[in-house]
Amino acid sequence: MGSTDLIITGKYGVLNQQKLLNATSNNINNVNTVGFIRKETQTYTSCVDWGVGATYTRRIYDQYVQRQMYSDCSDYNYYKAYAEGLDTTDRLLSDENMSVANSMSDFFDELSTAASLPTSTANRQAAMAKLETVVNRFQTANESMFDSLNDVNNRIHDSITEINSLTRSIANINYEIRSMALSDNHVNNEIYLQMLDERDRLTGELSKLMSVKVVEQDDGTYEIYMSTGMLLANGDSYGCLTDERDSFDSTKRHIYLSYENTEDASRNIASVQLTIDSIGGALGGYLNATKELRDTMRELGKLAVSFADAINEQNKAGFTLEDKAGEALLKIENVQGVSSDSSVGITCNFIKGKGENVQAYDFEIIFVQGASKPSVYLRDQDDKRIDVSNLAVIDGSKIYLKENGAIDGEDLYGVYFDIGTDVSNLPVTGTSRTVFYVQPTVLAASTMYSLINKPEDFAFASAVRTRTGDDNYGNAVISLTSCYATGSDYGVSVNTTTREPEFNNGAPNKIIIDANGDYNVYFHNATTGTDTLLGTAPASCKGVNVFANTVWNTAHTSGYPGYEVSIAGTVKQNDVFTVEINSGGQADNSNANALTALRSEKLTRTTGSEQVTTLNEGYANLLAKIGSASNSAKTNTEAAEAKYEQTVKMFESNSGVNLDEEATNLLMFQQSYQACAKIIEASQTIFNALIAAF
């Protein structure tokens, strides 16, 4: 009986060591297998089973470190995707050779050179070429950002496809894991352990794309949630994401979550829209990058409108080399909006002379049946709706946004909207609500183009000039401070036939000093020879900006009369100073100097602020915003990567295969195996000896 006991003891020992050898061999074979977690077989002693009890193979890992690794992985990939989405735009805008600011500076430098010789067509030609370069830089920057936006949107779509594949796979594995666990087929089952490894690997891949939280259930399945608590996968169902274009903005994507069942794949029709900040991972990073890109495109478009409007208005205030009134040098197309009703459209028009009021906002206009006026909302840079309905002023088919909602108020945002039909006709018959959405500046920079055909079109001479009376008693001299606007609302208009400037009726063109030293402003009618008093500037202004200090007898448009004069020196009663049309003044460079001076004028408004800055400052603010976001994303990427790598090392210190350790175990288990085999061999020798004794 003793030899039989030895055989059984040896047998159990050999079988046990074989299991230990299998586990170690499996670890060594999978040292480079992605997602593999080290296995360990444990044996429990038993006096019943010949000193060898049950054996259990388990995975060696720290679940708390694993959960932290998923979180760190999401953070790292979020910042990485955010940085990647902004990188191209940041490098383009900051590149010296492609910089819009540098091209504008070069243009103004060339314009200054041309102003020194106003009759030189060669210098004008050089300024014309630099202006074309400015246009090209605006177009290139905007088109490049639009391409980047499309590229990131494609990445968003690809990420969603991958997420759906992962959630479906995790749910299916969960289902199999639960089935095996309920049937008790999971103990020491290598397939079961491999499924656990594969599920953890898939969860890790999902954490790259979204922020996830994992909760392990009693049946061995995972319930995976978004950071907001919305379910992504369990053993019964899995989340399906879809990206849909915004109905008004084709560059914007909305993400929706719905569910499918693991058994019959029946889709739950109900879906929930996810907020960008709730997603995390690479998908969240890409979505936030598109938001930043759209904001930058709007800011660039705003800058393009401000630049074009300022150049145009100043050029129209002067004479060309051909003795004609200056015209617009640049064109930015009106913007077509999107309508919820295909039978009616909307156009956004930039108001001439109001470029500095334009801001980087989108607009939503809603007409509801029975309402006397539409609801108007701004969409700010955080996509928040700001109600500005109280500013809306209706004029037939046009909608203005004016200060205090008054028809004569200031145009606050430099745009008006035209729906092509009288506002009273909306909503269209059969509908109760019509919605319009307009993005004035998002593509404005790419629609800019030059209108200048020849160098002579630069209006370097001012439309008016000044003259000091020959018989004055004082020594004061009048000078033209600026000439910046023409039109029916100002002092000078352009004759539609001759294209030459001419005074409007009632334009201030004569100043006479009275006994109190005040500056009486008159309109002198050259045809009748009569003078009409228009207003008076007090002596206290000391001749500085006379028209700005004039108290007019009748109300006028802001900025009237579109030109300004100053009188320097000692004035005497009855001294006369006049303003006249600058006929034959092609050699004059006063308007060229005014064009050049635009570089230091405050012409563009900071979005959401009352601050107005220069064009270069406006570009610097734009560059600082995108640059700060990009640099912050890169810095955060480096920090998140370091933390993620540290967590991975902590996790792998337990779950990873150490070849030295496994080699030691292999040698130990091999020796144990050989020892148990010797027990069997010894028992066989004893048994044979016993048989031979009989």
Q: Where are the beta strands (DSSP E) in 495-581?
A: 501-503, 510-513, 519-524, 531-537, 551-552, 563-568, 576-581
Phi then psi for residue 415, to 5 deg, are -140, 160
Task: Show the tokens assigned to 154.
Answer: 């494609």
Reported residue count of the chain is 694
Q: Rounded to an integer, what distance in angstroms lies between the CA atom of residue 152 and that of residue 285?
A: 10
What is the model's pLDDT at position 637?
94
Strands 531-537 and 519-524: antiparallel
Rounded average pLDDT per 10-residue block, the chain, 694 residues? 62 71 73 74 65 70 86 95 93 89 95 92 94 96 94 95 94 89 72 85 94 89 90 90 89 91 65 89 95 94 96 91 90 93 92 93 90 87 88 93 90 94 78 89 94 92 92 94 88 88 94 96 93 96 96 90 95 96 85 94 91 94 92 94 92 72 73 74 71 70
Phi then psi for residue 162, to 5 deg, are -70, -40
Phi then psi for residue 274, to 5 deg, are -95, 145
| In contact, 564 and 545? CB cutoff 8 Å | yes
Q: Rounded to an integer, what distance in angstroms lies between the CA atom of residue 455 and that of residue 465?
A: 23
| In contact, 282 and 151? CB cutoff 8 Å | no
| In contact, 257 and 51? CB cutoff 8 Å | no
What is the model's pLDDT at position 496?
85
For residue 197, give the 3-state DSSP assignment. Answer: helix
Instruction: For tokens 């002067």, name the residue.
Output: 318
Rg (CA), the chain: 40
Task: Show the tokens assigned to 537.
Answer: 């500037």
| In contact, 325 and 276? CB cutoff 8 Å | no
For residue 34, give the 3-state DSSP assignment. Answer: coil
Residue boundaries of the structural domains of the chain: 2-61+657-692, 66-97+146-294+633-646, 338-438, 464-581
Q: Rounded to an integer, what distance in angstroms lies between the CA atom of residue 143 and that of residue 147?
A: 6
Count CA within 13 A, CB hemisphere, residue 635.
6
DSSP state of 325: B
What is the model's pLDDT at position 1?
44
Instruction: For tokens 């004609």, name the residue.
Output: 324
| In contact, 41 and 55? CB cutoff 8 Å | yes
| In contact, 330 and 308? CB cutoff 8 Å | yes
Q: Exposed e or buried b for every residue in 524-535, given b needs 16+ CB within 10 A?
A: beeeeeeeeebb
Q: pTM to 2 decimals?
A: 0.85
Q: Cβ–Cβ contacts within 10 Å for residue 360, how many?
A: 26
Q: Where are the beta strands (DSSP E) in 275-424?
A: 318-319, 330-331, 335-336, 338-339, 347-350, 362-368, 375-379, 385-387, 392-395, 398-402, 411-418
The per-type count for the chain, helices as H runs and strands as E runs, is: 10, 34
